[in-house]
Amino acid sequence: MHSKIISAGHYLPEKALSNKELESLVDTSDEWIRQRTGIEKRHIAAEDEKTSDMAVKAAEMALKNAGLKGSDIDAVILGTTTPDRTFPATAVTVQDKIGMGDHGFGMDVQAVCSGFIYALSVADNFIKAGQIKRALVIGAEKFSNLLNWDDRTTCVLFGDGAGAVIIEATEDANTGILSTHLHSEGAQRDILCTDGGAGSTKTTGHVTMNGQEVFRHAVSRMSEVVAEALKANNITANDIDWLIPHQANKRIIDSTAKKMKLPPEKIVLTVQDHGNTSAASIPLAFSTAWNDGRVKKNDLILMEAMGGGLTWGAALIRI
């Protein structure tokens, strides 16, 4: 028994903030942001729009596309770094709002930009263990709340949004989630982090980052985990139909693809429109490609991410 993806949905807040608009907030330029990151705009949630609101909208789209109701779901596994509240988990708000009642359970997973890969792996393993049959796996972030809008080195990079997939148990060994690979290295926790938290400063803090160190680790760790996933499945990069990378920075994505010798036509790229939406980035990109028909039955998909922790991971999936 393992799991396969049967549907996907996503949501972006109404407000799109262009690089040009950012020029009036901090000392930056459209040209600098495009050249260094590939980002053209990012979406910013409304003041009263919470992470759970975005997660519910992505979940509802995935449910509608699958022809399912909330009560058909056994577990909500939600990757987020920006929960509505310190507790309870944002996933239980989603459980309530999509109409699951007290059926099944909801839990959050915290692995920052690798959050979706971690959440997918957790859900896949619950299904493999026979404990649940169907899960909503969500990545949702209101990352704009963690930004210091006076710090041009970080505030231009991130955005808000949510993406969701539904996975369900299958006995067909040829489709579905073929493998997931998770890693972390806590010794690197300070190169990308917030300067606060409920257990220390009693605040959420703001994002701080050593950009060049993060860049260096991102390229090497994501290449490593891609190689690990290919080797574990006895395939080569040539066999991949779509690379769906964490959408942090086009230069990081290009470097990983170059190491894999993967042509640009095989990469789903949304970073220009969304910026880095942390845990939401991969499901947002996946849902975009799933719903516009790029991703087709039998396609072999490789997802990979790296984020604060450092955490990193990959998932190989046959649709």
Backbone angles phi, psi at 162, to 5 degrees: -150, 150
Distance from chain centroid for Cα 181: 15
State the minimum distance, in angstroms, from the CB of residue 312 to ligand ACO. 9
- Residues 93-132 contacting ligand ACO, CB under 6 A: 113
Site string for ligand ACO, 187-216 (x = CB under 6 A): -----x----------------x-xx-xx-
Please say if 113 is a catalytic residue.
yes
Site string for ligand ACO, 142-181 (x = CB under 6 A): ----------xx--xx------------------------
147: CB partners within 8 A, 6+ apart: 154, 155, 158, 206, 207
State the minimum distance, in angstroms, from the CB of residue 51 to ligand ACO. 18
Angle, to 10 degrees, between the axis of helix 51-66 and the axis of helix 90-97?
50
Q: Are strands 160-170 and 2-11 parallel, antiparallel or unpaired?
A: antiparallel
What is the size of the binding site for ligand ACO (CB under 6 A)? 23
State the minimum distance, in angstroms, from the CB of residue 117 to ligand ACO. 12
Among 3, 7, 19, 37, binds ligand ACO (CB under 6 A): 37
Among 307, 316, 317, 318, binds ligand ACO (CB under 6 A): 307
Q: Angle 59-60-63 (CA atoms, 0-180°, nearest 5)?
A: 85
Site string for ligand ACO, 241-280 (x = CB under 6 A): -----x-xx--x-----------------------x----
Q: Point out the catalytic residue in the list 2, 10, 217, 246.
A: 246
State the minimum distance, in angstroms, from the CB of residue 166 to ligand ACO. 25
- Rounded CA-CA distance 128/159 in Å is 34
CA distances from 245 to 98, 199, 214, 248, 280 (A): 28, 32, 16, 9, 12
In the complex with ligand ACO, which residue's Cβ is closer, 214 or 225? 214
Among 215, 193, 189, smallest CA distance to 206 is for 193
Q: Are strands 242-245 and 300-307 parallel, antiparallel or unpaired?
A: parallel
27: CB partners within 8 A, 6+ apart: 152
Among 15, 32, 241, 259, binds ligand ACO (CB under 6 A): 32
Q: Point out the catalytic residue in the list 113, 181, 249, 274.
A: 113
Please say if 155 is a catalytic residue.
no
Neighbouring CB atoms inside 10 A of 210's CB total 15
Please say if 246 is a catalytic residue.
yes
Q: What is the DSSP string of 52-74?
A: HHHHHHHHHHHHHHHT--GGG-S
State the minimum distance, in angstroms, from the CB of residue 32 to ligand ACO. 4
State the minimum distance, in angstroms, from the CB of residue 96 to ligand ACO. 30
By annotation, the residues acting in catalysis are 113, 246, 276
Residues that bind ligand ACO (CB under 6 A): 28, 32, 36-37, 113, 152-153, 156-157, 192, 209, 211-212, 214-215, 218, 246, 248-249, 252, 276, 306-307
